[in-house]
Structure 1
């Protein structure tokens, strides 16, 4: 009840405005109806890695990559494709520290998850190495996860996993080299009691990062690991 009143007062004093075009927002979100309708949805994808499929399917199917080399995680929820407005929101958050984008991305992700995903015991944002964190000043995955956690009432785990290797940027690397680059990058530093964990990140390209993290979680005794990302590249 208190939270509702806070939202009402905030919307009155600072009405939501679309980040993308400047029009009035709706449903307490900084996005308008028009921009919302034109977000690039990821509606036909592999159920395990969320790779976009060229041929539509009426039933959940696996892509060729997951059939030949199964990832350590069980399922991926990526409601948007990494292009257009979604790419702009993620890029502006990551490289320009536009924190308002994290709130909007978290709300958009939570909305889709609320309708589709089975609730995990906790959400684990992909950790940044301390050197990368100092350079950037924040972890975009944590900023998005805070909103998702609040919207879905699922606790965050920010302390159990540590990224102890400062891996180089992976933009120019192939999928095979990305996996090699991330080998042994993560470690568990506190006991895990959750049996179902959702790894959360901003965007998924090849899945190498979340595969390595999921493998570490599975080795620590976690039974089910899902991946929640705003967009699939």
Structure 2
């Protein structure tokens, strides 16, 4: 009910009040999403590993990190931004403070960056799923909201229910690296036969790649031939 009321109030605000930049509250055009000043401050991730999106020096001779040179984590990965302000603030506002309008802005920003750097459309976009108990607590899935906007902007197919989360795991941000791996091990299962399909996982932030890797394993177990990962920010 709280989510429905929030969205209703957002619609009223958009209809009767001048749209504002979600970061600095400056007046903006509705389609812009952010004001020019905040757009200029976006921490665009220019150089990144093509298999895990970890930031690399812009002068790096290779676009593959040392770890992925030994064993690529995904067929391809792309992150639009570093996990820095103002992107980190918008993600936090969406995830922890139910600022649902941020999902549209973040989805648009990710779509803009991907349109310039990712040419091949997948067979389906699959947001990282929440466990039903976590969904009830939060009222929405931030990855699904971002993926829905991304799919709409790029005209790519979205499957909101391609995967299920089997355990109500603690937030990855509360755990160390070893705990994160154990936390999501065998935590996901595919709900579809993905034989021969190109699956693209969508999330808000990727930090250690543990969650995305566990989801990729579930995709490959279901027969996926190619797994990409797209996220708004890379920590």
Q: TM-score range by the shorter chain?
A: 0.7 to 0.9
1:10-65: CA deviation from partner (whole Å, max 9, x where unpaired): 9886654211112232470321111101101111121111111246236x522123
Deviation at 1:194, TM superposition (A): 6.3
Unaligned 5+ residue runs, structure 2? 1-12
Equivalent residue, structure 1, for 2:9:
none
Normalised TM-score (structure 1): 0.88
Tell me, yes or no, if the aligned pair for 1:127 and 1:163 is still in contact at 8 Å: yes
What is residue 94 of structure 1 aligned with on the other side? 95
User: Which residue number in structure 1 is paired with residue 43 of structure 2?
Assistant: 40
Distance between the aligned counterparts of 1:76 and 1:14, measured in 2? 39
1:101 is paired with a residue whose SS is helix
Check 1:96–1:215 CA distance in 2 against 1; reply closer, same or farther (3 A cut). Answer: same
Contact 1:109 1:148 in 2 (8 A): yes
2:179 maps to which of 147, 172, 177: 177
Pair 1:145-2:176 in alignment: no
**Which residue does 1:49 correspond to in 2?**
52
The answer on whether the counterparts of 2:93 and 2:102 sit within 8 Å (CA) in structure 1 is yes
Equivalent pairs, count:
222
SS of the residue 1:21 aligns to: coil
CA contact (8 A) 2:193 2:223 kept: no
Q: TM-score, normalised by structure 2?
A: 0.87
- Secondary structure of 1:228's counterpart equals strand
RMSD: 2.1
Give CA deviations for 1:71-93 in whole Å, capped at 9, x if unaligned: 2x211110101111000000000
CA distance in 2, matches of 1:26, 1:108: 15
> By how many angstroms is 1:97 displaced?
0.6
Number of the residue aligned with 1:23: 26
After superposition, residues 183-194 of structure 1 pair within 5 angstroms as 183-192=185-194
- Among candidates 155, 158, 162, match of residue 157 of structure 2: 155
Q: Distance in 1 between matches of 2:97 and 2:196?
A: 34
Q: Is the 8 A contact 2:192 2:222 kept in 1?
A: no
Distance across 2 between alignment mates of 1:171 and 1:158: 24
In 1: Cα distance, 2:191 partner to 2:147 partner: 20
